[in-house]
Amino acid sequence: ATFNAAPAACRPEVCFADIGGQKTAVNELKEALDFIKNHEQIIKLGIRPLKGILLTGPPGTGKTLLAKAAAGYTDSVFVACSGSEFIEMYAGVGAQRVRQLFKTARDNALKQKKESAIIFIDEIDILGGKRGQNTSHHEYDQTLNQLLVEMDGMKVNDKVRILVVAATNRVDMLDPALLRPGRFDRQVKVDLPDKAGRLEILKLHSRNKPLADDIDLEKIAQETFSFSGAHLESLANEGAILAMREGCVKIEQRHFLEAIDKVMMGEKLDRRPAR
Ligand code: ATP
């Protein structure tokens, strides 16, 4: 296999205010980030630097958004990838990609004159599953070993400080080595939003949309039990599409109500009332 281009590096365009209904997660994450922001003090007090934060929870709840916002908050470059990008049939390719990922983060930070970089690894369970469980996948082990080597090699006075933020829905699947102190030693839970959270997310995703006077987002929030942020974003979009199809200039409540069904049909979601 030929080695593909380095993972995309981009300027973060998300801030914590763009994330709805994840107050606990945002606060916990900020607390951890404040700790790395106080770099001078960390060195003075001889504190072990925070190298990894694990975001756990179901898909579409805003883990990627949180990682992007973390990069903005700490003025770090942001490099994102998914665990699935490291899995190749050929020995050594996954490990090489891990090395390249860290190199990309450092190079981009130096280029942009930033002191820190956030590496986001979505679906870390794909590359960080328990080692030795699947004998036909020795390659997975090498890739995970390389990630551990990179993280262990990160030092408090490195020119570019790196924080690895990883996301998973299956923390039980992770190799315990990843959870040891000095690796991913902070976990932040990112749950499905409750009703108030859903309302916040709906407001965020309809802020740039023309809404008719009969719109009642609270009712929509009430009716969308078990929807994730991604589902709610999709609902707002579907509602706008339905309005457009009918030639309406504003989105009406019935469009959003119909959009609930559309999103649910796509996902077979549980629609229990009020929570
Ligand atoms: P996955 O595990 O599937 O990668 P994720 O938890 O990383 O999911 P995101 O990629 O952050 O989820 O969310 C997908 C999209 O859903 C976002 O781009 C955003 O439009 C919307 N979204 C999800 N959660 C929220 C939220 N809490 N507030 C606002 N928008 C959200």
Give the number of other Cβ atoms within 10 Å of residue 86's Cβ.
27
102 Cα to the center of ligand 1, angstroms = 24
* Ligand 1 nearest-atom number relative to CA 230: 16
Three-state secondary-structure class, residue 84? helix
Q: Among 195, 198, 233, 263, which is best to mutate for testing ligand 1, by the most ligand atoms less than 8 A from CB?
A: 233
Q: pLDDT by residue for the chain (275 residues), tens digit each?
A: 233 333 445 445 789 999 999 999 999 999 889 877 888 888 888 888 889 999 999 999 999 999 999 999 999 999 999 998 887 667 788 899 999 999 999 999 999 999 999 999 999 998 887 776 654 456 668 889 999 999 999 888 889 999 999 999 999 999 999 999 989 989 999 999 999 999 999 999 999 999 999 999 999 999 999 999 999 999 999 999 999 999 999 999 999 999 999 999 887 655 555 44
- CA separation for the pair 206, 203 (Å, rounded): 5
Closest ligand 1 atom to the C-alpha of 169?
2
Cβ atoms of residues 36 and 50 within 8 Å: yes
β-strand 77-82 against 9-10: which pairing, if any? Answer: antiparallel
Query: What residues are in contact with ligand 1 under a 6 Å CB criterion?
Result: 19-22, 59-65, 122, 167, 201, 204, 229-230, 233
Q: What residue's CA is closest to ligand 1, atom 16? A: 230
What was the ipTM of the complex prediction?
0.96
**pLDDT (0 to 100) of residue 127:** 85
Query: For residue 233, how far is its CA from the centre of ligand 1 (angstroms)?
Result: 8
The protein residue whose alpha carbon is closest to atom 1 in ligand 1 is 59
Cα Rg of the chain, angstroms = 21
Question: 97-121 burial, b if ≥16 CB within 10 A, otherwise e?
Answer: bbebbbebbbbbbeeeebebbbbbb
CB 164 within 8 A of CB 117: no
